[in-house]
Structure 1
């Protein structure tokens, strides 16, 4: 019997030793875990003090995972979230702090501040009241409580003013409210609608943009932002914002419909600009026409399309069409320097030099530093002077935008008539002069460099303009008859 008692005693001692050993191990693990948590907290505090918020946050994450029941780890992480401007992430941590330690006044005051900035006035009021109840001398909480009631009244009146379309009054009150509640998306949305009603789309964009972050999955906000940018003529930014809407909801009907339109418009505008830069004038005017078919009500896009049409038709030699397009553009924008210069080019193609001079002069008067207007004015003055002498285009009877093939064809046709050896009339001197003019016109207009100079108002065969002496141009190196006088042989190909 005694032997059995001894055996049982030994068993009990053995069990106790095992339990104590297990407790020691458990205490060691807890001690090691606590040490790691404390280490993360200390590193987090140091990094937070140094302003290294992202690194601090990673250590506080580790501290929370290591000790999920420690209210201080949540509180410090919430502090970093707030420093990063992530109030939505901070709020759940503050809620957890107060769940674990309801009498933690600093956390409750911090939560009240967040709720106030979010416009959750009733919840903020309850937290502030508890703070004051525990700490009657808490000045910030007392001041906030005094602010909430008049703030609620201002917001109520602002909404009424908005409904009555008193947008100026509503904006004034909403602006005061947003200063206190900057994270309240509803206040910004209402003020944005007031700005839209007043036609101030830029300020409306400034209010809608923050709401895309203040509200989760805010497809409505991105869609509104995209439409505002579109109305402002900012198609590229409109496309960017509507893509954000579709990232959140690929099946969003309004966003998808707008996406198709704005994507097409952006592409057309890029193609029109590229065609203009590459001097593909026909392609440019076609793209401009497609821009108007895609959007013909919003001023910036209509203006852009008509600008391309005016410029590309003028530079492409379609003078009559260009005059019409440029006139339409100038009706919309009377002091558009580019349109004035483009219309001047169309007048030059029509040989309406005085009208061209007036347009270049007006453009120059608007901006005396504008290079195109200044150079155009100099050129038209030279053209007017040259037109009083010899006009090579008129001599050959071709348009100013005639191709080389057309010029050679006109030259051959006239050369048959006026070549002195072939001329059937009696006035050989007249024939000689006419043929010299025809040959000079062909010489200039079929040579790319010389023609470019001539189109800029400079006659490359005029010795006065080339810095040479006086005398006929054939004495300056140009002689269609060769050194043997009338021994020139004309070949008809």
Structure 2
């Protein structure tokens, strides 16, 4: 039997060797670790040069995870982010590079450029000035000086645009902000101010474009989504209005303005959808009632008033209620004489009511609006009925609606109707 003392002696004899092995293992692991960083850096550079950005990014992620003090890993990762158009992600990495190595002028210059594009002019100028004081290369010095001059000019334009905006000179303010945004393409404040200028100028399409950009550039930009929703609402686009206000509530379920607007537009959207379903099902009286409810829900937005009355006109025409249809259609045409849907429906209602000559001008007006687009078949839907009641079988043959209208046939129909 082996004694305990003998075992203990053996262990103590080998213990120094065990420590050496552990030390070697530790040193080998460390070398392997450093090698792993070098590997990731080298592979990342090759993939970046080859344009394989996602793969390059994964290698630089790994390098940063292994060695959080490696400023070059952050710099390379920032370079990939910029190549991918992810400036928001690049900026913290560049700041970390500067924190780890304050004299790295390339990183500071790049950060200054990003800050300038974001409209953070004071911070950008600080970076450009530090580059100029840090013994830069000729190229870096030239770029930093140029960007510093540009930043000073932008500062002046921003101040001018604010004065113009405060003076309600929206055209001038928008023009000045155009120049600012050419350089500061990610400047949320300038875009929101220009959007407000466009709203005041009645250029809603341009306002929508700026607000959509602002909603993406700034996290949790509930106000941009709210404004987008109200613009779409006032333009009569209830579906887009509902979509944008939902985005606002996703960010802040307790947003009072968005929630109040959401209840209104949701109710209106539901009524319009129901009315259209009734029309599809040929339940025309129900459709009329539902569109009358739309007018009650939103009596102040012209687009919704006209939409409701246009569709009531159509439903009444389809229901063969000619006199009611003519009255509603005529009301719409006072506001929008070129509404081809209503022109066609009123023409049909006149013909249903045996007012044949009264229906003819509406068909002619419809054709005049649409003939340049090569789409007059729509206008001629009531035409055969008109001709049948004129008891002109020969003309009916020539003007019956074919699948495709050629130029001579359209001319013959126009001549028959005496549109010109």
TM-score normalized with structure 2 length = 0.84
Contact 1:361–1:377 (8 Å) recurs in 2: no
Match of 2:356 among 349, 353, 361: 353
Q: Which of 328, 331, 342 lines up with 1:339 in the alignment?
A: 342
Aligned twin of 2:5: none
Question: 2 CA distance for matches of 1:46 and 1:286?
Answer: 68
My pick for the range that moved more, 76-85 or 115-124, is 76-85
| 1:392-471 correspondence to structure 2 within 5 Å | none
Q: Please state how far the C-alpha of 1:33 moved relative to its aligned partner.
A: 1.4
**1:49 matched residue in structure 2:** 49
Structure 1 segment 133-144 matched on structure 2, within 5 A:
133=133, 134-135=135-136, 137=138, 138=140, 139-144=142-147
Give the distance between the partners of 1:315 and 1:136, measured in 2 at CA: 78
Give the superposition deviation at 1:356: 1.8
Deviation of 1:318 (Å): 1.5
Residue 46 to residue 228, structure 1, CA distance change in 2 (3 Å): farther
- Computed over aligned residues only, the root mean square deviation of the Cα atoms, in angstroms, reads 2.4
Aligned residue number for residue 382 of structure 1: 388
Sort the Cα spacing of 1:51 and 1:265 in 2 relative to 1 into closer, same or farther, 3 A.
farther
Cα distance between partner residues in 2 of 1:47 and 1:265:
53
Alpha-carbon distance in 2 for matches of 1:366, 1:113: 52
Deviation, structure 1 residue 289: 1.1
1:362 aligns with 2:365: yes
Higher helix share: 2
Show the 5 A alignment for 1:148-227: 148-227=151-230
Give a deviation string over 1:288-337, Cα, whole Å, max 9, x none.
11221222222322221111001111110222211111011101111222
Deviations 1:215-262 (A, max 9, x none): 221111211121122222222222111111111111211111111222
**8 Å Cα contact 1:208/1:221 also seen in 2:** yes
Cross-structure match for 1:71: 71
1:287 pairs with 2:266: no
Displacement of 1:20: 4.8
CA contact (8 A) 1:357 1:381 kept: no
- Please give the secondary structure, in 2, of the residue aligned with 1:385: coil
Quote the offset at 1:42 in angstroms.
Answer: 2.6
Distance 2:179 2:246 in 1: 33
Q: Distance in 1 between matches of 2:37 and 2:150?
A: 40
Output one character per residue of 1:44-85: Cα deviation in whole Å (capped at 9) or x when no partner: 223323333233222221111111110111111111222222
Residue aligning to 1:462: none
1:364 shift after superposition: 2.6
Aligned to 2:409: none
CA distance in 1, matches of 2:364, 2:174: 46
Q: Deviations over 1:369-393 (max 9, x none)?
A: 421322422320211328xxxxxxx
| 1:261 aligned to which of 260, 264, 268 | 264
Out of 130, 145, 149, the position equivalent to 1:146 is 149
- CA deviation vs aligned residue, 1:108-142 (integer Å, no higher than 9, x gap): 11111111111111111121112122216222111
2:252 corresponds in structure 1 to 249
Distance 1:58 1:240, change over 3 A: farther
Partner SS state of residue 305, structure 1: helix
Take 2:365 and 2:359, find their aligned partners in 1: how far apart are those partners? 10
Query: Is the 1:47–1:56 Cα contact (8 Å) retained in structure 2?
Result: yes
**For 2:68 and 2:34, how far apart are their aligned partners in 1?**
11
- Paired with 1:117 and 1:23, the residues of 2 have a C-alpha distance of 52
SS in 1 for 2:91: helix
Q: Take 2:185 and 2:349, find their aligned partners in 1: how far apart are those partners?
A: 56
* Structure 2, unaligned runs of 5 or more: 1-11, 393-399, 402-420
Shift in CA distance, 228/43, structure 1 to aligned 2, threshold 3 Å: farther
Q: In the TM superposition, what is the alpha-carbon distance from 1:17 to its structure 2 partner?
A: 6.0
Bigger Rg over Cα: 1
Matches within 5 A, 1:271-350: 271-350=274-353
Q: Distance in 2 between matches of 1:246 and 1:102?
A: 42
Instruction: Specify whether residues 126 and 366 from structure 1 end up closer, same or farther in structure 2 by C-alpha distance, changes over 3 A only.
Output: closer
Q: Which moved more, 1:61-70 or 1:342-351?
A: 342-351
- CA–CA distance in 1 between the matches of 2:368 and 2:150? 58
Matches within 5 A, 1:74-93: 74-93=74-93
Count of residues in correspondence between the two structures: 379
How far off its partner does 1:29 sit? 1.4
Distance (whole Å) between structure 2 residues aligned to residue 219 and residue 30 of structure 1 = 49
Instruction: Report which stretch shifted further, 247-256 or 225-234.
Output: 225-234
How has the CA–CA distance of structure 1 residues 118 and 277 changed in structure 2, closer, same or farther, with 3 Å as cutoff? same
Following TM superposition, by how much is the alpha carbon of 1:181 offset from its aligned partner in structure 2, in angstroms? 0.9
